[in-house]
Chain A
Amino acid sequence: MNGAQQTVIYEQAMDLRFLDEIYRIPGGEKIKDCIQCGTCSGSCPVSWAMEETPRQVFAMIRAGMRDKVLDSLTIWTCASCYQCAHRCPQEIKITDIMYMLKRMAIRENRQRSKKANALSRIFVELVNKNGRNHETTLMVRFMLAANPFGAVSAAPIGLSLYTHGRLPLFGRKVRDVQGLRKIVAKAQELGGE
């Protein structure tokens, strides 16, 4: 956050239920133990590329800054490497809270990172349909969805993988795809938080 441009956010704009939403994931209530030490931000390999660092995000969650957190590029910059969670002295499942924030943002159709949304959507479609991720299809569909004009610049990498036998044209499916789809349907019905 750039101090000079920072605007004051008044209490009326806060959603104090935000914290309760975080409490709903397994282990989520530990967020109240956060001591704002900044070990997460210091350990994060990508905090330099975030809008707010993980420590700031946690302060914002507790302050009820729901929109600002869910619309932040920060959650889409987390690579899920677990370094923060591993080092957190309060044993907060930081990576999993980041996952939770991503799920909330996707569910509310917040399009802050079109690419990340596209990747998740296509990946989940493929897995729900076939039970497996066929990487060639994922790459092609993702490229076309996320950045059709950038596909030209990414083509050499795809081509070299293909010529090295690393992007087969056909993928294998799960045999009991019906059973898997039943599990998917039930899990979706159960919520999925």
Chain B
Amino acid sequence: MRYAYYPGCSLEATGRPYEKSVSAVADALGMELLELEDWNCCGATAYMSVNEILSFCLSARNLCQALKTGDTLVTPCSACYTNLRKTESYMSEFPEMKKKVDEALAEAGLRYDGGVVTKHFLQAVMEDAGVDRIVSRIKRPLTGLRVAPYYGCQIARPYGIEDDSDNPTMLDRLLTLIGATPTYYPMKTVCCGGSLMGTREDVALRLCRNLLMCAEQYDAQCIAVTCPLCQLNLDAYQNAINKAYGTRFNLPVVYFTQLMGIAFGMDWKGVGLRECIVPAKAMAEQFA
């Protein structure tokens, strides 16, 4: 299992704990992640509101880079993933757009005519590493841990993973495999607000309050996420949410890869749980 690995900008900063745990888990599963050569930003959601052609060019350039490494590109970030898949879809659906992208890429001597399969890291874990391999690595099953499976918006949408868009189960199945109990979480694909936390904080705080409230109502002990922006909003802003709404949430928001790491017997610091703002130590140490 060799992959061109695209961490994306967030994983070098606010998503550092994700980066740590993805590397650790990939190692344990024998997935070889070769960092995508000289990758660039995917444009997130901000770029698309400035220049459409260019935002497709950004992802197309990354797809070109991926071909140098192999044919499967894996990324843990839902925004990067969505933009790559969206670009791929537009290139094949709208030849006029592809012509413009080709023209711009040619300036740097590049051309993309397809050939890369893009996967979210969750997909790669479930589809390629697979159930048997995951189960074989488990040293400390997370028995009794109630986890709200939060997919976030983008990986469950038109350019998302192959799963039920309204009620995806891939993360639920993974959590069950590692011994945890995925709770009923009706808000599993409702948006966290994304970059609205910067531009319309009142709106994003309320969306995140609702997500935390829903997890708590179904007695979750933590929320598992698949996207660095969801993690940032729910974790780093939890205190701000408590202040704004008079709530007392104290719910760790962890990456699914961090939970896998704990189940694989790794040290809680080694999978970046010390970098969570809402302390996750006590939760992790039940399984030490």
| A residues with CB within 8 A of B | 25-27, 45-46, 49, 76-77, 79-83, 85-86, 99-100, 102-103, 106, 113, 115-116, 119-121, 123-124, 127, 131-136, 142, 146, 156-157, 160-161, 164-168, 171-172, 174-176, 179-180, 182-188, 190-193
Contact = CB atoms under 8 A, between A and B. Distances in A.
Given A160-B236, A171-B12, A192-B52, 8 more contacts: A26-B94, A79-B196, A81-B194, A85-B157, A119-B198, A124-B46, A157-B240, A187-B51
25 contacts: A45-B207, A49-B200, A77-B196, A80-B48, A82-B158, A86-B157, A86-B165, A103-B52, A113-B200, A127-B40, A132-B40, A133-B41, A135-B9, A164-B275, A166-B13, A167-B13, A168-B12, A168-B13, A171-B9, A174-B38, A179-B110, A186-B107, A191-B53, A191-B100, A193-B52
B12 A77 contact: no
A183 B198 contact: no
B135 interface: no
Contacts of A120: 46-47, 49-50
A193 to B, nearest CB: 6
A36 B41 CA distance: 37
Main secondary structure of the interface of A (DSSP, over half): helix
Interface residues of B, number: 71
Q: Which 5 A-B pairs give the minimum distances between C-beta atoms?
A: A81-B191, A179-B108, A81-B153, A192-B51, A102-B49
Nearest to A126: B41
A46 B207 contact: yes
Interface in B150-195: 153-154, 157-159, 165, 189-191, 193-195
A142 B236 contact: no
Interface of B: 9-10, 12-17, 38-41, 43-54, 57-58, 61, 82, 90, 93-94, 96-97, 100-101, 103-110, 153-154, 157-159, 165, 189-191, 193-196, 198-200, 202-204, 207, 236-237, 239-240, 274-277
Nearest to B157: A82
A165 B218 CA distance: 32
A170 B91 CA distance: 34
Contact of B203 (A49, A99, A171, A176): A49
A114 to B, nearest CB: 9
A119 B196 CA distance: 10
A156 B239 CA distance: 10
Given A135-B9, A186-B104, A192-B53, A46 B41 contact: no
